[in-house]
Amino acid sequence: MNRELTIDILRYDPNQPEIKPYIASYKIQEQVGMTLFVALNEIRKHHDSSLKFDFVCRAGICGSCSMLVNGKPSLACKTLTQKLDSHIRLAPLPVFELIGDLSVFTGNWMRGLNERLESWIHHKEEELEVDKLEKPMDPDVADDVYELDRCIECGCCVAGCGTLQMNENFVGAVGLNKIARYQLDPRDKRDEKEYYELVGNEDGVFGCMTLLGCEDVCSKNLPLQSKIAYLRRVMAKTALKKKD
């Protein structure tokens, strides 16, 4: 027999500040293989069409449907209701700009981070030869780069980061992952000193308290713990060289 689910959702629209945040409770019948994404659509279709939440791919690729599920940052499209208690509590991700209800705007935060960390391939040549054949990359290196490139910027690691809750300038695991990705890429010609200038401080890799909530909630199961530890070792060696 299908369970009856009670879903409590924190509701608030910043465009209507006269209405204070409140908890709205909905009851729906659970279906086999139901995800929170499906459950939310059921609520919006049959209970309250004004409910705001985001989705695009419905396959754990776009990262749009990230939210707090019983206090844990998760993707609604990847979360099966059968793995949760019948009483489910949903809220928007913290840190990011709230659009309304469960919908947040991660774009501004992520764009600012990418600009701050210069997360693009840096060439030393003054003029780029667009017709020149690209040098083949070692397959093992390509696999390592691709592994880190799977980040979908869903914001779960940002929301689950204890350090970021206390230091809003901290780049977070998503930022450190980007640095590790470009540091591995042989096409990027920056040296360790240049990377050090970006993350060799308390707002970067040395500010991480290694609580590792980021890896616990990463929707793509990226090796954030090992890459943060690796970057810390590299940056520490670079710091010692700078003192000499």
What are the domain boundaries of the chain?
A: 4-104, 106-243
Would you state the pLDDT for residue 239?
85
Query: What contacts 242, CB < 8 A, 6 or more positions away?
Result: 193, 196
pTM, 2 dp: 0.91
pLDDT at 124: 75
Q: Residue 74: what pLDDT?
A: 97
Same fold, 4-104 and 106-243: no
- Compute the mean pLDDT over every residue in the chain, rounded to the nearest whole number: 93
pLDDT, position 127: 64
CATH, range 106-243: 1.10.1060.10
- pLDDT truncated to tens, each residue of the chain (244 aa)? 689 999 999 999 999 999 999 999 999 999 999 999 999 999 999 999 999 999 999 899 999 999 999 999 999 999 999 999 999 999 999 999 999 999 999 999 999 999 999 999 998 776 667 787 888 899 999 999 999 999 999 999 999 999 998 999 999 999 999 999 999 999 999 999 999 999 999 999 999 998 889 999 999 999 999 999 999 999 999 888 777 6
Task: Please say whether the beta carbons of 137 and 143 come within 8 A.
Answer: no
Q: What does residue 169 show for φ and ψ, rounded to 5 degrees?
A: -90, -5
Q: How many CA atoms lie within 13 A of 215 on its CB side?
A: 15
Q: Which CATH superfamily is domain 4-104 in?
A: Beta-grasp domain (3.10.20.30)
Instruction: Give the list of residues 6+ apart from residue 25 with CB closer than 8 angstroms, or none.
Output: 6, 7, 8, 9
